[in-house]
Structure 1
């Protein structure tokens, strides 16, 4: 048993010294060397998301869009699915009473807005000719025989 006590007595100073040595070593290491410069380009590249979305804004010259282009960009959202009572694209039964009023009446409704549809379908940049083209295109999908004005060059 005396051998056991001697071993424990020899270990006591070591047990007290280890935490002190660890703290001193950490303090010395923390102060060593110069701080590395941060490369913001590398950091940004490292944290980029897996998928990226690139949006390209393409502005058409006013007056140069066809009725189909305007329909796809502006009208299809509501008329494609019949949202909020909008007559569905190509549904002759829904469009028949509207077509019977004539192209001018349809264009006036689109220009001023009707029901939930805002004026010009929400596309304030449409010219009068483009408005007629889009209206004629949409009505023609349901069987109307309106003539679209030619695209300005």
Structure 2
């Protein structure tokens, strides 16, 4: 039991160390849907509204909430933000390939990274943000 508490404390401090507040984590793991029963009132919210905004999120915002945990330190070979040498061969494959890898997953990266409610356009602007900041 003590090891679970220790691991939990380690995990909390590790995630927070990469810029994710408890609120960011709660938003990231919040349900993306809601069960509605016919005949009862049901609140319907868009993914953007659920995420706390009224429209598409910026690449910087998505990176800060969903990508930084792996791309800040290179977890499992993830190219680090700012590492031009690591990004160059990926950029050379073209945006379509980068986008396909981000949407479908590649190697240790799951589909859509950890942003299950990101639209394809939001994934694209996040890639553009990462590439632009890794030249």
Give the TM-score normalised by structure 1.
Answer: 0.54
Please list every run of at least 4 consecutive aligned residues from structure 1 whose deviation after the TM superposition is greater than 4 angstroms.
54-58
- Structure 1 segments unaligned to the other structure (5+ residues): 1-53, 144-153
Write the deviation string for residues 31-72 of structure 1: whole angstroms up to 9, x where unpaired: xxxxxxxxxxxxxxxxxxxxxxx8586633475200000000
Q: 1:100 and 1:133 mapped to 2: Cα distance?
A: 17
Instruction: Report the counterpart of residue 128 of structure 2 in structure 1.
Output: 136
Write the deviation string for residues 99-151 of structure 1: whole angstroms up to 9, x where unpaired: 111111101000000111100002110011101011111111112xxxxxxxx
Q: What SS class does the counterpart of residue 132 from structure 1 fall into?
A: helix
Q: Indicate the structure (1 or 2) with the bigger Cα radius of gyration.
A: 1
Give the TM-score normalised by structure 2.
Answer: 0.61
- RMSD of the alignment, in Å? 2.0
Q: 2:103 and 2:116 mapped to 1: Cα distance?
A: 10
Give the 3 Å change call, closer, same or farther, for CA 55–104 of structure 1 in structure 2. Answer: closer
Instruction: Report the counterpart of residue 93 of structure 1 in structure 2.
Output: 85
